Amino acid sequence: MNGNPTAARRDVFEYAVLRVVPRVERGESINAGVVLYCRARSFLAARTHLDEARLGALDPTVDIPGVRAALRAAECVCRGGAEAGLAAGDDAGRRFRWLIAPRSTVVQPGPVHTGLTADPGAELDRLLEVLVR
């Protein structure tokens, strides 16, 4: 803090962009979501936005419903509970690490970045706007 007792506490967060790679062998992708984890606030969430026209420009045969399902699955893993499937019993940190693990599927996490925030939810919305929309 900067010495101002009314200043909001800022905590470290980690995030990764979710990328859609319709043809893994070509390596082309579009950003379709962000996963953000803030341990100090026990916050884990994902926000997604799929631009179907941009994705179709990379691969007109892409399985849009399948991509949407994969993005929804990431959001469910973040929320935890029964929707999270096998990850339901894991804490938020383990679920985040599972989501950001490298994979060669159509929806892939990008590199992890860090920052400071007083409001993880607002930061996630901001990152979605800047990096995805």
For the record, the structure tokens of 36 come out as 């953000």
Domain boundaries, the chain: 11-131
pLDDT value for 7 = 64
pLDDT value for 1 = 46
For the record, the structure tokens of 30 come out as 């579009």
- Measured in degrees and rounded to the nearest 5, phi and psi for residue 85 equal 65, -135
Burial of 125 (0-12, 13-18, 19+ CB in 10 A): middle
Amino acid (1-letter code) at residue 117? T
Q: How far is CA 66 from its chain centroid? A: 17
pLDDT value for 3 = 58
How many beta carbons lie within 10 A of that of residue 64, not counting itself?
A: 13
Question: Whose CA is closest to 44, among 88, 75, 5, 4?
Answer: 75
Q: Mean pLDDT, 10 residues at a time, over the chain (133 residues)? A: 66 98 91 98 97 95 95 92 79 93 90 98 98 96
pLDDT value for 90 = 86
pLDDT value for 56 = 95
Question: Whose CA is closest to 71, among 113, 34, 120, 28?
Answer: 34
Contacts of 116 (CB under 8 A, 6+ apart): 10, 11, 12, 13
pLDDT value for 80 = 86
